[in-house]
Homo-oligomer: A and B are copies of this chain.
Amino acid sequence: MPETAPRADRPADRLRDRTSGTRYGNRPTMKDVAARAGVGLKTVSRVVNGEPGVTPDTERRVQEAIEALGFRRNDSARVLRKGRTASIGLILEDLADPFYGPLSRAVEEVARAHGALLINGSSAEDPDREQELALALCARRVDGLVVIPAGDDHRYLEPEIRAGVATVFVDRPAGRIEADVVLSDNFGGARDGVAHLIAHGHRRIGFIGDMPRIHTAAERLRGYRAAMEDAGIAVADSWMSLGVTDPERVRRAAEAMLTGPEPVTAVFAGNNRVTVTVIRVLAGLSRQVALVGFDDIELADLLQPGVTVVAQDAAALGRTAAERLFRQLDGTHLTPERIELPTRLVTRGSGELPPSD
């Protein structure tokens, strides 16, 4: 039986040893298992994949060989052959942002329920890096992509989508292509949050938010303006700070609107990072200033006063997006849809403070 010769004697193996970095023994393949079990290659494949048509006795022999050799199926080869990878990609902007933890987890749960693996990477808010990552994942032939976009032009994904890569955008819509997107009701949430402050007697309300080129920031700003307009309040330019996120500049912006000629009596913070910084600023003040923040923050209830927020359900965003992705993968072509999830106003004290002037 000359086929049972050790692998290292075959020319291809010596070759591999030279070119690739595999350091220890080469991994056994189905061929090796077959040789050891004294069966054909395809029979091993059948056992590994639980396909029918193998005698219990043969199966046992194969299993023993697998065990003895420490064989593990090479999924790269499998993917190459089958075309589908049973894995999906998730691209988010910052793994360390607590907002994305539950989102990412929810996506993973759904993927797992569908027998798929989740591969994720973060774009660090850099559109180029987002594109690089997305295309790298496509090269790996992920079946689908969940993208929290950093850029605003996603035409680079067109060939991929056409080739069958399911794609869902979350948190912000895709730029310049038609695609599914799952969003929070940023406009409505912000409008309700600001209306809440107005209902508690505030008229001069500040807004600190991210750059309006970011969709969520623009929508929240729009919500702020809408609430003010609904109440017949004219907004002073000095009450708004757009495009600042780093703590130091947020601090200065907050201090400016608190001490100007028309000092605000309440602040609406456009995202969780801004909220945290504003809390620090307000903590150093003698007078009380009301605060409502967009996005929940941990321990918000333990602060004095508790922080009133417009909470989005990050887990629901992720779950909805992932489920939509798998619906794309299961069925026929769906027309791109925009799904908007409601936000929830959580009152904890800071948003119910009366004006203090």
Q: Is the CB of A24 within 8 A of B139?
A: no
Interface residues of A in 119-148 (CB under 8 A from B): 119-122, 135-141
Interface residues of A in 14-42 (CB under 8 A from B): 16, 19-27
- Residues of chain B within 8 A of A54, CB atoms compared: none
- Residues of chain B within 8 A of A323, CB atoms compared: none
A96-B102, A105-B96, A297-B299 known; A76 and B70 CB under 8 Å?
no
A56-75 to B contact mask, C-beta < 8 Å, 1/0? 00000000000000101111
Taken together as a complex, chains A and B put the C-alpha atoms of A162 and B303 apart, in Å, by 52
Taken together as a complex, chains A and B put the C-alpha atoms of A21 and B83 apart, in Å, by 8
Q: Is the CB of A75 within 8 A of B139?
A: yes
- Asked if A84 CB lies within 8 Å of chain B CBs, one says yes
Total interface residues in chain A, CB < 8 Å: 67
Q: Is the CB of A98 within 8 A of B101?
A: yes
Taken together as a complex, chains A and B put the C-alpha atoms of A60 and B82 apart, in Å, by 33
Determine how many copies of this chain the complex contains.
2
Interface residues of A in 290-315 (CB under 8 A from B): 297-299, 302-304
Q: Choose, from A218-226, A240-248, A275-283, A341-349, the stretch at the interface.
A: A275-283
A23-B164, A298-B299 known; A73 and B16 CB under 8 Å?
no
State the Cβ distance, A19 to closest chain B Cβ, in Å.
8
Contact of A119 among B101, B119, B135, B159 (CB under 8 A): B119
**Interface residues in chain A, defined as those with a beta carbon under 8 Å from any beta carbon in chain B:** 16, 19-27, 70, 72-77, 79-80, 82-85, 87, 94-98, 100-102, 104-105, 108, 117-122, 135-141, 158-160, 162-164, 276, 279-280, 283, 297-299, 302-304, 329, 332-333
